[in-house]
Amino acid sequence: MNTWAGFPLPKDGPAPGSCIRVERPEDGLVFLHLDPPHRSLAVFDGPLLRDLDAVLQDLEHDHNLKAVVLAGADPLRFAGGADLDAIATFDDPVVLEEVVLAVHKLFRRLEKLPARTVAAVGGPVPGGACEISLCCDFIVAADHPKTRIGLPETQLGIIPGWGGCHRLPRRIGLPAAMQAILSGKLYPAKKAKRLQMVDRVTAPEYLWEVAANIAMKRERVRPVSRGWKHWLVDRNPLLMHLVSKKARETVMKKTRGKYPAPLEAISLVANGVQTPLEEGAKKEARAIAKLASGSVCKSLVRLFQASEAAKKWGKNADGTSFPPLQSAGVVGGGVMGGGIASSFAMKGIATRLADLSQDAVDAAVQNHRKDVAKKVKRRQFQKHQGMAAVDALDGTTSIHQFSHAELVLEAVAERLEIKQSVFKEIAANVSESTILATNTSSLSVTKIAEGIPHPERVVGMHFFNPVKRMPLVEVIQGEQTSEESVRRVAALALRLGKTPVIVKDVAGFLVNRILGPYLDEAVRLFLDGADVQKVDRFLVDFGMPMGPFRLLDEVGLDIAKHAGESLHRAYGERMEPASGLEALSSESRLGRKTGKGFYDYPKDRKEKPTPCTDLASFQTRTVAKNLPKEDVVDRLVLSMVNEGLLCLQENVVAGPQELDLATVFGTGFAPFEGGLYSYAQRRGLQNIQGRLLELGKKPLF
């Protein structure tokens, strides 16, 4: 394998010169189309960088050159960022630093061209694509929902390393650049224009024409200028210090110092305006070399790759796409059913929500309208989009009004006989091709499908609460479920902005099965005297989004008890639940939904919950009261690891990549660890086995 300045050039890669289409539509004007034959969207990999190097060399000697337009294969396919697969192969920081500097030098050559340069961007414009655009004199963006521009690198454990930390603050100012880089946001075209991240916005069909006119000075665009703000804001040492301090406090509060990339970015961005570009390049290269070779970056990149790989399930096996779903029905107007129906309608799917209670239907529709109004107010929806989303959801008290639905999802009570009855009624009133999806969290999809005509269309579509925030959907394939049904439901999940993971039809599926031993171990520690708040703090320090007792309260003590009993029936003695929840829970004490569980929850949600004062009365011993932090964490986390590895052995998911994705997106398992399997691999399976045996020799229970 050859390389371009250290970037790999595959033997079967595209021929030299084939990745950039050079066009000369008029005298003095050159269009450079990033259009590699081996990718649907250009990525800054070895072949593309090699060809850009060659093209720039030609342009540097073109004495007739007046203007250059950098464009994509079409107006809505500009380019992605760096080739993450290639970057993941670099383990030597010295080599990686040299590679980053080589790309800096290449981008700087584009910036130094004597001709006027214009980037005509549209569709995805993340990371490296944004950074090469910042090297141009002007940026024109296509006004289209697909257009998203920004620097998301901190979300992958690195920093914008090809000039972004220094060029963006020069363009839009220190405060805005700091926020953009630390958040990793990708902005729509009009928002980017308001931030001055782009100079001009136009319809996609006019993008290249407008870019050419600006490049050839036929259309005047005022260059971005910070004016007095450049001196009083961007170069103000006191303000730099205050912005950096505030940013650091925010990052530490959010990440607890587990993610080094945002902290590294703060210093680079704060000094970005005052640092010469050549010196800035060296600083960015050193930071990238350190971060990209570290475990956090590698973990986050693997998760990103896993989420991208999951998208293949949203298409036919041959790669062709399904027609977009036009109509759907949801049965069950509770929190889950209402949230799912609203999510469908937000994406333009004509949705009918059914519940026997008119009050439940009315409440769900009203909540949907409130959510739409918030999106309009925040400019996430335009007014006409908001009106369409409102119109897309209606309600009924009959489950016989789904004759035109392409998919009907039930979210009724978690009882097998109820779900079977609901599906039989629905099946009698819909087309034989209508997909019947169940949101069950624990019941067998195969059993739910019993007695249903064409059971191959019955599939699990398990959302997590809260529906609109949780990114994972478990797609459960029953014994008779067809692959087409699985793929069509996965496509729907992707359309909703979720990540689908295909799961075998076993008790608890994947996420709840793994959480079962974790939460049960927490209850056992509680019964033996462990301090609830301390245990929760230990697990948050480890990297979980909340501790196990807060999670139990969020789930609901009644639901947790029911789930534990289901797992016990399925897996026998090794899943026998602790009996503590029975004594603790009552109709008025079920967790957050009743205002009291392990914690007391103030009516004002802005106030922090506090541990209940009567918890000691439910504890039978005190042997776990002063248990060391490492013992508490290992007892809980390794319970998940052990069950996760059993799931792999039983082929509950396709492999380690899917297990990692599901545990991070479904349980909130520390993303910087890369997921359950990656954590186990890094720690060492022998080490984990020895630790479990050690904990087993000193039982508390």
Active site (catalytic) residues: 462
In whole angstroms, give the CA distance from residue 436 to residue 419: 11
Q: What b/e sequence results for 190-209 when a residue is b if at least 16 CB atoms lie within 10 Å of its CB, and e otherwise?
A: ebbbebebbbbbbebeebbe
Say if residue 457 is exposed, middle or buried (CB neighbours under 10 Å; 0-12, 13-18, 19+): buried
Residue 693's identity, in one-letter code, is L
Q: Is the peptide bond before 466 cis (omega within 30 degrees of 0)?
A: yes
- For 564-571, the CB contacts below 8 A with 24+ separation are 564/516, 564/519, 564/520, 566/442, 566/443, 566/507, 566/508, 567/442, 567/507, 567/508, 567/512, 567/513, 567/516, 569/507, 570/506, 570/507, 570/508, 571/507
For residue 600, the cross-strand partners are 596, 610
Q: Determine the Cα angle at 587 with ends 584 and 591, to 5°.
A: 60
673: number of Cβ within 10 Å: 25
Say whether 331 sits in a helix, a strand or coil.
strand
DSSP label at residue 404: T
Show Cβ contacts of residue 695 under 8 Å, excluding neighbours closer than 6 positions.
631, 634, 635, 638
| Helix 260-270 / helix 164-172 crossing angle, nearest 10 deg | 50
DSSP per-residue letters across 251-265: HHHHHTT--HHHHHH
Show Cβ contacts of residue 173 under 8 Å, excluding neighbours closer than 6 positions.
226, 229, 230, 233, 234
- Which run of H or E residues covers position 52? helix 46-60
Helix extents (H) in 378-498: 383-391, 416-427, 445-448, 483-495
